[in-house]
Amino acid sequence: MSADAAVVVVSYNTAHLIGECLDSLDKERGTLAQQVVVVDNGSRDGSVGVIRERGGVELIDAGENLGFGRAVNRAAASADAEFLVLLNPDTVVLDHAIERLVGFARVYPGHGLYGGRALHRDGSLEMSSCWGLPTVWSMTCFALGLTTFCRGSARLDPESLGGWRRDTVREVGIVTGCLLLVPLVLWRELGGFDERYFMYGEDADLAFRVRSAGLRPIITPEACIVHDVGGASKTSGDKQLLLFQGKATLLRDHFGGWQRCLVLGELVAGVALRAVLASIGPGRRLPAAADWRRLWRARRQWFPGYAARPGG
């Protein structure tokens, strides 16, 4: 193989971010032989020009918004490395993070998916490098509002993984795409991302499939990045709509029988509760109150989940 790691970055109108991300990849590569592939999803802000200024970067100019999963799959098809690494354009690599992650995966093979620790610019913890997988219990907690009003509770907000600060080696449910390493052989065996997931949910779906293969995703704090979470996203309302469309698809895909009916009902009930609370009294101070009301009004759009791709 020609590289230790093929690093894939998907860009969409991230001209203000992508340059720093790519510069940090080069600066912090250490002794790692890395292939860097950037897919630009039809940016209109000059992102392509910023990317072309960087040497050693393979650019795939899609000319349209392929979505995240489809864009990653397109880049991964040309990867020639032992590992595939996904990295957000709104990240900055710290202290040879990719090299450390590759080294960790080699020492601890058999986990399938590997991730690291994310920080905000001020050095505080950014939680979204990993999550717990959804369960009947976690969805019950969502339906009752506990995941919002008991945020960060290991028992009542289980997908947040409680107060764990991502500062120890630990097996997790989901390693998110902001920093995710997977052996390229395994990626291809699993068929990469399910392209029905336009954005959000594809990494959770991959985690479910990896765990079904008997592997257990894992985090190491030795691989650390800065993540300007949301810097590469649309408005919070648009993001929330896509998040719930992905969540509905995920629940339909990985729960069966009565459990599927239950968790989908709990998803709707949780949104309804927050929308009602966001319209009355103190509930108007609920985080993203206006977005919850908008999400409820748009439930017929997100609840069916992502449609199958034509011919899929």
* Least confident interval from 91-100, 108-117, 230-239, 242-251: 230-239
- Looking at residue 284, its pLDDT comes to 59
* 225, burial (CB in 10 Å: exposed 0-12, middle 13-18, buried 19+): buried
Mean pLDDT of 2-15: 96
CA atoms within 13 A of residue 143's CA, in its CB half-sphere: 15
pLDDT digits (tens, 9 = 90+) for 23-33: 999 999 999 99
- Looking at residue 236, its pLDDT comes to 62
Looking at per-residue confidence, does 162 or 55 come out higher?
Answer: 162
Residues 6+ apart with CB under 8 A from 79: 6, 8, 35, 37, 184
Contact 32, 5 (CB under 8 A): yes
Q: Which of 181, 24, 165, 43 is nearest to 90 (CA)?
A: 24
Give the position of tokens 């989940």. Answer: 305
pTM of the model: 0.94
- Looking at residue 312, its pLDDT comes to 43
Residue 281 pLDDT greater than 50, yes or no: yes
- Looking at residue 280, its pLDDT comes to 85
Looking at the chain, the whole-number percentage of residues with pLDDT higher than 70 is 93
Contact 218, 169 (CB under 8 A): yes
Mean pLDDT of 179-207: 97
The structural domains of the chain, with segments of one domain joined by +, span 5-132+172-227, 135-158+234-303
- Looking at residue 146, its pLDDT comes to 96
Structure tokens at 155: 């028992």
* 257, burial (CB in 10 Å: exposed 0-12, middle 13-18, buried 19+): exposed
Residue 130 pLDDT greater than 80, yes or no: yes
User: How far is CA 196 from each of CA 71, 129, 193, 241, rounded to the nearest angstrom?
Assistant: 12, 22, 9, 15
pLDDT digits (tens, 9 = 90+) for 64-105: 999 999 999 999 999 999 999 999 999 999 999 999 999 999
Pick the CATH number of 5-132+172-227 from 3.90.550.60, 3.40.50.300, 2.60.120.10, 3.40.50.2300: 3.90.550.60
